[in-house]
């Protein structure tokens, strides 16, 4: 009988996985071999597929040419990255009128071999963008159950972290703390390019600006730079729902100055909603969470259209 086909290596997306850590410890993956054909023209058993579960949002690249092989962006979506070889033909294919029991058979084809790179894009409702030291890590830690490692100097958060925020009424949303952007991020300056890609899948964007400015730049200048960096990376990011949040208002006792800054930012942004908070003093957070929840729902409705 004919030999069985080799198994394929298949990646499948699941919400039960959140990291790619498993693949650090198993760099070589093989599917099952096809079995030999048997007497009486019995077909050999096909090799078992090797199904590998990965988090939703996993991107798989072919290392040879850097092309994107597949984007596993939804529950249960799967893709066979390396297919098993076809089984060889058994001796019955070589029968002739003069040889009814040939002893020769055909070898099976080799299966595909691939060298792949796996990358995980964060899946979040809200992307939190701001300059280093805008207070993003503190903000995400007080509004959610995430506890990013933070210290009091720029570039402390070196990897994106996700926090689940309880918005009440059995509603919640996921917020992604994208490490601090700086001018030139879209060109790869600082950590920017590495993390800008995570923003693409969020439904809404939150610009977090320090009321005291950063590195000699005013909050309005900072907002202008942040928006420019996003548009240079991908103009479609500006089609998302957006809001500006002024942080660290505990450092500015003059309410008139805060009101004037909110007005300037509203004008600069073309009418975006502007709110003010102090993450450290936990001031203004409840109202902000309610507004973000509304923004997320609005973003979901836009996706369905």
User: Which domains does the chain possess?
Assistant: 9-120 (2.70.210.12), 126-304 (3.40.50.300)
DSSP 219-245: HHHHHHHHHHHHHHH-GGGGGSEEEEE
CA distance 289 to 281: 15
State which H helix or E strand residue 14 sits in. strand 9-14
Per-residue pLDDT of the chain (305 residues; tens, 9 = 90+): 566 677 888 999 987 777 787 787 777 888 777 666 565 556 667 778 889 998 888 899 998 888 999 999 888 999 998 887 776 665 455 555 565 555 555 565 666 788 888 888 766 789 888 887 788 878 888 888 655 444 443 333 445 567 778 887 767 788 887 765 555 544 544 444 455 666 777 889 999 999 999 889 999 999 999 898 888 878 888 899 999 999 999 999 899 999 999 999 999 999 999 999 999 999 999 999 999 998 888 776 665 55
State which H helix or E strand residue 13 sits in. strand 9-14
């Amino acid at each position: 009988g004919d030999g069985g086909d080799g198994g394929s290596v298949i990646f499948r997306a699941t919400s039960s996985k959140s990291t790619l850590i498993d693949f650090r410890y198993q760099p070589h993956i093989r599917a099952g071999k096809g079995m030999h054909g048997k007497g009486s023209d019995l077909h050999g058993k096909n090799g078992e597929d090797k199904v590998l579960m990965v988090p939703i949002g996993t991107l798989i690249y072919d290392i040879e040419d850097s092309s994107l092989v597949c984007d596993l962006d939804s529950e249960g979506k799967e893709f066979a990255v390396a297919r098993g070889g076809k089984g060889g033909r058994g001796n019955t294919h070589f029968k002739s009128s003069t040889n009814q029991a040939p002893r020769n058979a055909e070898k099976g084809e080799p299966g595909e071999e691939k060298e792949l790179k796996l990358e995980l894009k964060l899946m979040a409702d809200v992307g939190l963008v701001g300059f280093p030291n805008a207070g993003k890590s503190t903000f995400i830690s007080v509004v959610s159950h995430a506890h990013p490692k933070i210290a009091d100097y720029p570039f402390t958060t070196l990897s994106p972290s996700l926090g689940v925020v309880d918005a009440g009424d059995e509603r919640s949303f996921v917020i992604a703390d994208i490490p601090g952007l700086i001018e030139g991020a879209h060109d790869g300056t600082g950590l920017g390019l590495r993390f800008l890609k995570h923003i693409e899948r969020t439904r809404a964007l939150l610009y977090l600006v320090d009321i005291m400015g950063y590195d000699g730049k005013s909050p309005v200048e900072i907002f202008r730079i942040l928006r420019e960096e996003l548009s240079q990376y991908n103009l479609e990011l500006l089609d998302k729902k957006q809001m500006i949040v002024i942080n660290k208002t505990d450092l500015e006792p003059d309410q008139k100055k805060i009101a004037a800054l909110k007005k300037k930012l509203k004008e600069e942004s073309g009418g975006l909603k502007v709110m003010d908070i102090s993450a450290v003093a936990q001031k203004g957070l409840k109202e902000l969470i309610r507004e973000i929840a509304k923004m997320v729902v609005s973003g979901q409705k836009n996706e369905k259209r």
